[in-house]
Amino acid sequence: QNHQGLAFTTVDRSDDFLLQVRIGESARQDNQRQALKQNILTLRNRVNELGVAEPVIQQQGSNRVIIQLPGVQDTVRARETLGATATLQFKAVDESNSLEAALAGRVPPGSALYDHRDGNRILLKKRTILTGEYITNASSGLDPQTGEPVVNVSLDGRGAKIMSGFTGKNIGKRMAVIFVENKQYTTVTEEGEKEVVTELVEEVITDPVIRDQLSARFQISGAMGTREARDLALLLRAGSLAAPMHFVEERTVGPSLGLDNIRQGVRSIVLGLALVVGFMVMWYRGFGLVANVALALNLVLLVAVLSLLQATLTLPGIAGIVLTVGMAVDANVLIFERIREELNAGNTPQNSIYAGFDKAFSTIFDANVTTLIASAVLFVFGTGPIKGFAVTLSMGILTSMFTAILVTRAMVNLVWGGRRVASLPIGHSLLRLKGERAIRFLSRRRLAAIVSGLMIVVSIASLATRGLQFGIDFTGGTLVEVGYQQPADLQQVEQALQGAGITDAVVQLFGTPSDVLIRLASGSGGDLAQLSGDVLTALQGYDDSVELRRVEFVGPQVGEELTQDGGLALLFALLGILLYVGLRFRYQFAMGAVAALVHDVLITLGLFSLFAIEFDLTVLAALLAVIGYSLNDTIVVFDRIRENFAVIRKGGVIEVIDQALNDSLARTLVTSVTTLMVLLALLFFGGEVIRGFAMALLFGVLIGTYSSLMVASPALIGLGLTREDMEEPEKEGADAELA
């Protein structure tokens, strides 16, 4: 039975009857949620005490909290203050039993030995008189008589009553004040694996004699320095953590690097968007201007939604925005190419506009829904960074569908809908591939299969033998980036670090000859600020112009979770896509789409392995974007194949698929070109930090464009797709022949 969250079970052991009591699952989850809420409130109070302007404190998942402290100067104190699980306990000193006997191993029941700050041991009663939860305020100061640092404590009504009752009955006896803290640190096991160890530290600060009855206000003094008294008062004032917390990931960015990243990021994105805007106007003329207005509105809406959700924009989030921009442009390209087709078929401008939007809707819907399914699965099964990508992508899909389908149509109807015009300012397609001009893609499917097979074999072989060069996001460890005024001497850097006792460092140039990256794979991150200070001090001994640009620490637990959850998220995303495409089209299309995705991911990973490019969180984000892009590309082609089977009644399966590939080729190339413009701007002007991200996307877009034409569609032939599978009842007047 259950009683107030407790579950009771009986256990029979021979003649004994045992009753087993445990906390129920719902009660355990409630306690965990309440503890996390209390911890967030406490952390917020502590950050406010630090005086940080505009901090960000957010819950991530069920057991993590993200804290961002812009502009904080004393990172050592900030880390100690936030991570401290310190509180106070008040216990009576056991003066009725012998301390010597307890030290000899004969500790009396109800008592325990504790370490004293003066280096000795002391015997205390186990029963706790009072804890820090009753403290309402605390401040540091100096004792007016002795001049030593003290902490002035104020208790609430209940705490004052407890303290008054105990001290009133025990005048002349001693009461100990215990500083209690949970400390976490990383150790290496005998098997060479890292694990986080939690240690409970209980230290007696002072054990004064009770001279008078205490009440709501009193002082604590002992072997404390001024700063220690101030920090203890801050922790007591902000409140204690309801559950122990430890750092699993930490990143410090210097002001110069942060400014450089902002400048480079803004410059590359502005340049990329400018190229896209110019290309759309050149290619689609007046309709290109409409697409650009819709794209700008899409970005404004996306940023507004993310702001309302208080989402933190990280590199995975930027990956989602880049993919959103590509898909928003793609939706307009689909519509405009359809309008061009209708005009080329001899329809009037008004009928062409109507038919273009009408026929493109199904394709846009299918492409966006499949990507939305993938992002939903990534959100459910992914970790924090992957969830960030999924949220940004999901919001971007919804805003892009709104702007492409509703806003673009409203603007087109407003400008050209109510007017009699002889032509539309939409340009002329340079790729009218019909009849003899059509490209016979599937006639080259065997050659494409050989090329793809070779690339996959090389990729798998490289992954099996060389593996991926994982960054600290996956392996855990510490990374320090420093900058020099002139080209750095790596040998001198290594000598300086070895002289400071840092022997496991891997030193390399990062982007420019004056930027150096130092990797400490075994760094525990136990005192990240101290570690970075040691590195900087060692290097300044040779060159005092060296500047600390960033420090990052990732615990081993984060790397393991990222690997496991990322793999599961990708697997379930593929299963979700397989199910939807199979229901919306046929199973051959589902298998073809998944084959193209696996093809793209394997070859992209193989390129990173082959060229030993670092695989970190930014590259994982790019890989997720590649899956979304490739899927979008493939669904567009599949939708055209399905449509062609309905309208083209003569010709075999190969001819129908070939014509569909030719019909969608202009859209495929235009979308790829606009996406590549943004990626090339990121690659060359986005800075070294984002280079791996841009390179992965660049590889993925090129491979994805190829696979949508030469892998996914030929796979339909290999999977035995027939005209009978796609045949619909023939309607009068609906016959069409291949031109």
Q: Give the pLDDT confidence of 148-174 residue by residue, as tens digits.
A: 888 888 888 888 899 899 988 888 888
- Tell me how far apart the alpha carbons of residues 567 and 473 are, in angstroms, rounded to a whole number: 15
**Could you tell me if 359 and 597 are in contact, meaning their C-beta atoms sit under 8 angstroms apart?**
no
Closest residue by Cα to residue 280 from 296, 292, 262: 292
What integer is the mean pLDDT of 699-716?
89
- Tell me how far apart the alpha carbons of residues 400 and 417 are, in angstroms, rounded to a whole number: 22
Amino acid letter, 437: R
Q: Residues 339-389: pLDDT tens digits?
A: 988 888 888 888 889 888 998 888 888 888 877 887 787 777 666 566 777
Prediction pTM value: 0.66
Mean of per-residue pLDDT scores for the chain:
78
**Could you tell me if 268 and 208 are in contact, meaning their C-beta atoms sit under 8 angstroms apart?**
no
Going by pLDDT thresholds of 50, 70 and 90, the confidence category of residue 739 is: very low
- Tell me how far apart the alpha carbons of residues 627 and 374 are, in angstroms, rounded to a whole number: 9
Going by pLDDT thresholds of 50, 70 and 90, the confidence category of residue 102 is: confident
pLDDT of 455 reads: 95
pLDDT of 620 reads: 76
pLDDT of 561 reads: 67
What integer is the mean pLDDT of 176-199?
69
pLDDT of 613 reads: 83
Report DSSP state, residue 658: H
Give the DSSP H or E segment for 653: helix 653-685
Give the DSSP H or E segment for 205: strand 194-206
Angle at Cα 313 formed by Cα 308 and Cα 314, nearest 5°?
155
pLDDT of 461 reads: 95
Q: Residues 545-570: pLDDT tens digits?
A: 788 777 776 665 566 666 677 677 77
**Could you tell me if 115 and 139 are in contact, meaning their C-beta atoms sit under 8 angstroms apart?**
no
Give me the residue label for tokens 């701007």: 681
Q: Residues 636-685: pLDDT tens digits?
A: 888 888 888 888 877 788 888 988 888 888 888 888 888 888 888 878 88
What integer is the mean pLDDT of 68-91?
70
Highest mean pLDDT among 346-355, 470-479, 539-548: 346-355
pLDDT of 135 reads: 80
pLDDT of 137 reads: 80
What integer is the mean pLDDT of 45-68?
70
SS (H, E, C) 518-543: EEECCCCCCCHHHHHHHHHHHHHCCC
**Could you tell me if 62 and 40 are in contact, meaning their C-beta atoms sit under 8 angstroms apart?**
no
Map out the domains of the chain with their CATH numbers. Answer: 1-10+19-78 (no CATH), 84-246 (3.30.1360.200), 253-431+449-467+559-726 (no CATH), 477-554 (3.30.70.3400)
pLDDT of 259 reads: 61
Mapped onto helix, strand or coil, the DSSP state of residue 309 is: coil
- Tell me how far apart the alpha carbons of residues 181 and 201 are, in angstroms, rounded to a whole number: 5
Q: Which of 81-85, 324-328, 397-401, 531-535 has the lowest mean pLDDT?
A: 81-85
In the predicted structure, residue 441 carries a pLDDT above the cut 90: no
pLDDT of 460 reads: 94
Closest residue by Cα to residue 300 from 202, 403, 369, 388: 403
**Percent of the chain's residues with pLDDT above 70:** 78
In the predicted structure, residue 487 carries a pLDDT above the cut 50: yes
Strands 469-470 and 614-615: what pairing? Answer: parallel
- Tell me how far apart the alpha carbons of residues 374 and 370 are, in angstroms, rounded to a whole number: 6
Mapped onto helix, strand or coil, the DSSP state of residue 150 is: strand
Please, which residues have CB within 8 angstroms of residue 159's CB and are 6 or more apart in sequence?
130, 134, 135, 136, 216
- Tell me how far apart the alpha carbons of residues 249 and 478 are, in angstroms, rounded to a whole number: 10
Closest residue by Cα to residue 67 from 253, 251, 257: 251
pLDDT of 606 reads: 92
Show the tokens assigned to 401.
């569908």
Going by pLDDT thresholds of 50, 70 and 90, the confidence category of residue 76 is: low
Going by pLDDT thresholds of 50, 70 and 90, the confidence category of residue 2 is: very low
Beta strands, E only, 275-391: none
**Could you tell me if 596 and 630 are in contact, meaning their C-beta atoms sit under 8 angstroms apart?**
yes
Going by pLDDT thresholds of 50, 70 and 90, the confidence category of residue 427 is: confident
Closest residue by Cα to residue 473 from 564, 558, 532, 386: 558
Q: Residues 234-252: pLDDT tens digits?
A: 767 766 666 667 676 666 6
Give me the residue label for tokens 């299963």: 575
What integer is the mean pLDDT of 43-56?
69
- Between the alpha carbon of residue 595 and those of residues 460, 565, 601, the distances in Å are 15, 22, 10
pLDDT of 454 reads: 95
In the predicted structure, residue 117 carries a pLDDT above the cut 50: yes
What integer is the mean pLDDT of 703-708?
90
Report DSSP state, residue 220: E
Overall size of the chain counted in residues: 739
Report DSSP state, residue 514: E
pLDDT of 736 reads: 43
Show the tokens assigned to 41.
């409130």
Give the DSSP H or E segment for 597: helix 587-610
Show the tokens assigned to 612.
């030993």
pLDDT of 529 reads: 55
What integer is the mean pLDDT of 490-495?
83
In the predicted structure, residue 738 carries a pLDDT above the cut 50: no
Please, which residues have CB within 8 angstroms of residue 334's CB and are 6 or more apart in sequence?
360, 363, 364, 636, 667
Q: Which residue did the predictor score with more confidence, 478 or 316?
A: 478
pLDDT of 462 reads: 94
- Tell me how far apart the alpha carbons of residues 562 and 475 are, in angstroms, rounded to a whole number: 10
Handedness of CA 79, 471, 507, 489 (dihedral sign): negative
pLDDT of 732 reads: 46
pLDDT of 61 reads: 66
pLDDT of 46 reads: 72
Helices (H), 216-254: 226-238
Alpha carbon 604 to its chain centroid, in Å, reads: 20
Going by pLDDT thresholds of 50, 70 and 90, the confidence category of residue 733 is: very low
